[in-house]
Amino acid sequence: MEIKLCLCHGGSGVRLFRLRLSGDVSSLGLNEGGLGVGQRRGGSGLGATEGDAVYGKQDLPATLHYATSVPYAGWMDDSKLELVTLYEGCCGDGGVERVDSLAVFYRPPINFVPVYRYASAPAQGKNRSLSSEATVIFATGNSKLNPKLKDNAAMLEEIRASIAAICTSPDVKIRSIVMQGGASPEGRYANNEKLAKARANAIRSYVSQQLELPEDIFQVDFVAEDWDGVRAYVAASSLKDKDAILEIIDSDQEPDAKEQAIRRKHAASWKKISKECLPELRRVHYRVDYDIRGYEQPEDVLAVMETHPENLTLAEYCAAASKYEPGTPNHTKICRAAVAQFPNDPVANLNAANAEIAAGNYAAAQPLLAKAGSSADAEYARGVFEASQEHYKAAIPHFQKALDGGIKQAADILDEIDR
């Protein structure tokens, strides 16, 4: 702020002029000493000091010019510029103070109009896989599927339902369904290899019949003897001889030789393994590989959001949101759904934060901004977040980082805040 003043004097006696800016909560003297005019040089008895400019009558100019500048502070808004005149008469009359209000300092409010910058996401492939396993129990040495055995009915329904959820979607095209059968290491390896494959085929036939799927969509795989499963059980057990058993399992012996060595040297432990571990290894793993069609129309994205939000890519969420005006219900809804589906993605968090700021939901925006990354767009959004709440001082460093990152419109905002 710059103050310019022209003092025109008249009359006799001694006068000392002081300028001050007076606000509701503070005041500031604008001339460190003072401007004095009168008939005498030196001090006047009015509080003039060596720093004051005091003129005698003979060398007194007709007009006194004074200018100064001080840094702006918030309390100065609507403050008054005052001229304080201290004077005494020519005959030593007592000093009198007079205060004149010269002007009211008015700083127009900052005209901040937020402009939001929404980010887009790169296109992503829509090839998906569903992998799971079900413990369908088979009798020892048998590949016949028996729904009444233990929990087989529930397990078979779980397999059917999970695959059906994919198959019945009109937006999904299945590439393949892989069935992997397994057998426990009991008996000869060659026989177990046949059993594992036959068990996988049994589950394949069941699913194919239940869902009326073509046979050529299935692939069959198998694990003849699941020694990894046995090892995991033994390692986690409290068997006293587990270290010795693990040494046999980890050896280079053939599978049949490993089984015989454990049976012979650790009969009690093998009996426990056969009862508690081996039945669970006669299970089936399955994987469904499929493609999901793309969604280009925002209406389609809104519909899929309600039923299968996981079928949408972040790029599709972003593209759909861009079709709506920021701050509108659909725009906000899409941004919120995107960050719910991709909670750790910086782009999803940035866009959702912008949407919440536009809606005035600052409490909701703050944690999203914390996960929006360190891009120039993220810094710009943090500046908008602060400036929208009139926290201009806090907004400045964020806008400066955005400007340094290439966002030119941040310069206009900084100029408006700093004017």
Question: Based on the domain organization, do 260 and 318 belong to the same domain?
Answer: no
Distance separating alpha carbons of residues 382 and 103, to the nearest angstrom: 38
Question: Based on the domain organization, do 206 and 304 belong to the same domain?
Answer: no
- How far is residue 335 from each of residues 113, 178, 304, 331, 362, measured CA to CA in Å? 22, 36, 14, 6, 15
Question: Based on the domain organization, do 262 and 171 belong to the same domain?
Answer: yes
Domain-embedded: residue 252? yes
pLDDT of amino acid 142? 84
CATH code of the domain covering residue 257: 3.30.1330.60
Consecutive 10-residue averages of pLDDT for the chain (419 residues): 49 63 70 48 48 57 70 75 70 66 76 91 80 78 87 90 84 88 85 88 90 89 89 94 95 93 95 90 84 90 90 93 91 96 96 94 96 96 95 94 95 87
- Domain count for the chain, please give it: 3
Question: Based on the domain organization, do 363 and 389 belong to the same domain?
Answer: yes
Domain-embedded: residue 85? yes
Residue 19 phi, psi (nearest 5): -105, 145
pLDDT of amino acid 111? 86
Question: Based on the domain organization, do 153 and 90 belong to the same domain?
Answer: no
> Do the Cβ atoms of 2 and 69 come closer than 8 Å?
yes
Contact partners, residue 232, CB within 8 Å, separation at least 6: none
Domain-embedded: residue 113? no
Picking from 347, 367, 354, the residue whose alpha carbon sits closest to that of residue 116 is: 354
Among 245, 264, 290, where does a domain finish? 290
Question: Based on the domain organization, do 44 and 13 belong to the same domain?
Answer: yes
Q: Could you tell me how many helices (H) and strands (E) the chain has, helices first?
A: 14, 12
Domain-embedded: residue 347? yes
Distance separating alpha carbons of residues 111 and 107, to the nearest angstrom: 11
- Residue 400's Cβ-count burial label (10 Å; 0-12, 13-18, 19+) is middle
**Pairing mode of beta strands 172-182, 80-88:** unpaired
Question: Based on the domain organization, do 142 and 262 belong to the same domain?
Answer: yes
Domain-embedded: residue 86? yes
pLDDT of amino acid 53? 57
Domain-embedded: residue 112? no
Question: Based on the domain organization, do 356 and 414 belong to the same domain?
Answer: yes
Picking from 321, 313, 301, 335, the residue whose alpha carbon sits closest to that of residue 123 is: 313
Question: Based on the domain organization, do 246 and 339 belong to the same domain?
Answer: no
Among 258, 290, 322, where does a domain finish? 290
Picking from 402, 366, 364, the residue whose alpha carbon sits closest to that of residue 383 is: 402
pLDDT of amino acid 402? 96
pLDDT of amino acid 97? 75
The DSSP bridge partners found for residue 219 are: 178
> Do the Cβ atoms of 19 and 84 come closer than 8 Å?
yes
Domain-embedded: residue 122? no
> Do the Cβ atoms of 282 and 183 come closer than 8 Å?
yes
Question: Based on the domain organization, do 156 and 279 belong to the same domain?
Answer: yes
SS (H, E, C) 99-125: EEEEEECCCCCCCCCCCCCCCCCCCCC
Which amino acid type is present at position 397? P
Note the Cα 22 to chain centre separation in Å: 46
pLDDT of amino acid 258? 93
Distance separating alpha carbons of residues 141 and 139, to the nearest angstrom: 6
Give the domain range for residue 336.
295-418
Distance separating alpha carbons of residues 418 and 336, to the nearest angstrom: 34
Among 236, 265, 290, where does a domain finish? 290
Cα atoms found within 13 Å of the Cα of residue 67, Cβ hemisphere only: 4
The DSSP bridge partners found for residue 47 are: none
pLDDT of amino acid 230? 94
Question: Based on the domain organization, do 323 and 284 belong to the same domain?
Answer: no
DSSP 158-199: HHHHHHHHHHT-TTEEEEEEEEEEE--S-S-HHHHHHHHHHH
- How far is residue 112 from each of residues 76, 388, 413, 415, measured CA to CA in Å? 20, 8, 7, 11
Domain-embedded: residue 384? yes
Taking phi over 0 as left and psi of -120 to 50 as alpha, with beta for the rest, 384 belongs to alpha
CATH code of the domain covering residue 388: 1.25.40.10
> Do the Cβ atoms of 283 and 182 come closer than 8 Å?
yes
* Residue given tokens 């039945």 in the structure block: 279
Question: Based on the domain organization, do 267 and 299 belong to the same domain?
Answer: no
